[in-house]
């Protein structure tokens, strides 16, 4: 019997072994409740295949983890499992489809979000459905390239002679399955008119508006199971794209808006005061503290 990482993560939090903020705890409570909702099916087979691939064949490229496979933390396994396991029946298609189409992962810097999503995209490149187009997007071309290049580093680590996969200046592809990964930024011309299946929006707090996100959403509008993953830290642009997205995410989270296809996964503090008064509260926005983040680095 396969483990249920979502339930495991929630139980660790409920038992006091893992500290998270109110917003994530609220979302996890809702998700665990939805496991018993007949409206949904929770099928972890594909998610666990992805997790197994990530921990076996997604090799990291930076010290001190150079050429070492990922060792996913429980929160990362729970996140990946949740995104890919919840299904809802589509009456028009007459089949079960992935429930979540829009995901917001809000987390502090240096918690490995870019590496995690690079592994997710590399998994698609290898074992994803043929004919898939994937976009690595950000407001800045350099930021979009960070995710894209890390995907390529993982690609080269297991296919150094490009027998199955290939990279040129504009795209990474699986030649046998016609799976393509390219990048998009605020400088990209002709953002519209594409036909993509999945989009990663990295560090969306830098985006002044929704131009890039909207272009990606429109490009996925004809897909049966599109997936937009917004991975970001909190930023300093007032009334920018992320502020509006967070407002919507919290309305979904607290049931002010009914959107079953939206997943807000927010690692946030409960108050500004607790940051100064209780160092243990830092775990709420830094779930990787115990593994790769050092407490003294956060205190700087």
Q: Which domains does the chain have, with CATH numbers?
A: 5-299 (3.40.50.300)
Cα separation of 59 and 159, whole Å? 11
CA atoms within 13 A on the CB side of 259: 17
Q: Look up the pTM and report it.
A: 0.93
Q: What is the pLDDT of residue 298?
A: 46
The pLDDT value recorded for residue 192 is: 59
pLDDT at residue 66, as a whole number:
82
At 87 the three-state DSSP class reads: strand
Sheet strands side by side (includes 179-184)? 165-167, 171-174, 179-184, 133-137, 198-202, 227-232, 102-106, 262-266
Q: How does pLDDT run along the chain (300 residues), one tens digit per residue?
A: 789 999 999 999 999 999 999 999 999 999 999 999 999 999 999 999 999 999 999 998 887 888 888 999 999 999 999 999 999 999 999 999 999 999 999 999 989 999 999 999 999 999 999 999 999 999 888 889 999 999 999 999 999 999 999 999 989 999 999 999 999 887 765 555 578 999 999 998 888 888 899 998 999 999 999 999 999 998 767 788 999 999 999 999 999 999 999 999 999 998 888 888 888 889 999 998 864 445 455 444
The pLDDT value given to residue 190? 59
């Amino acid at each position: 019997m396969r483990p249920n990482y979502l339930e495991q993560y929630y139980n660790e939090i409920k038992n006091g072994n893992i500290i998270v903020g109110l917003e994530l705890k609220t979302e996890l409570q809702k998700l665990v409740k939805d496991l018993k909702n007949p409206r949904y099916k929770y099928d972890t087979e594909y998610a666990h295949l992805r997790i197994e691939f990530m921990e076996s064949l997604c090799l990291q490229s930076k010290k001190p983890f150079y050429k070492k496979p990922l060792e996913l933390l429980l929160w990362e396994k729970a996140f990946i499992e949740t995104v890919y396991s919840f299904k809802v029946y589509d009456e028009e298609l007459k089949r079960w489809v992935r429930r979540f189409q829009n995901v917001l992962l809000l987390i502090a810097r240096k918690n490995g979000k870019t590496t995690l999503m690079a592994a997710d995209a590399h998994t698609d490149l290898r074992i994803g459905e043929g004919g898939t187009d994937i976009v690595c997007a950000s407001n800045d071309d350099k930021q979009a390239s960070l995710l894209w290049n890390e995907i390529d580093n993982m690609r080269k680590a297991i296919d150094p002679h490009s027998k199955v996969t290939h990279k040129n200046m504009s795209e990474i592809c699986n030649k046998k399955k016609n799976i393509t990964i390219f990048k998009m930024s605020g400088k990209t011309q002709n953002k519209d008119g594409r036909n993509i299946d999945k989009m990663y929006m990295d560090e969306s707090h830098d985006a002044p508006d929704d131009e890039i996100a909207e272009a990606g959403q429109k490009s996925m509008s004809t897909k049966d199971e599109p997936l937009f993953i917004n991975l970001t830290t909190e930023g300093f642009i007032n009334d920018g794209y992320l502020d509006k997205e967070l407002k919507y995410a919290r309305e979904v989270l607290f049931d002010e808006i009914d959107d079953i296809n939206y997943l807000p996964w927010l690692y946030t503090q409960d108050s500004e005061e607790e940051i100064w008064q209780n160092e243990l509260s830092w775990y709420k926005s830094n779930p990787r503290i115990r593994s790769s983040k050092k407490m003294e680095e956060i205190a700087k």
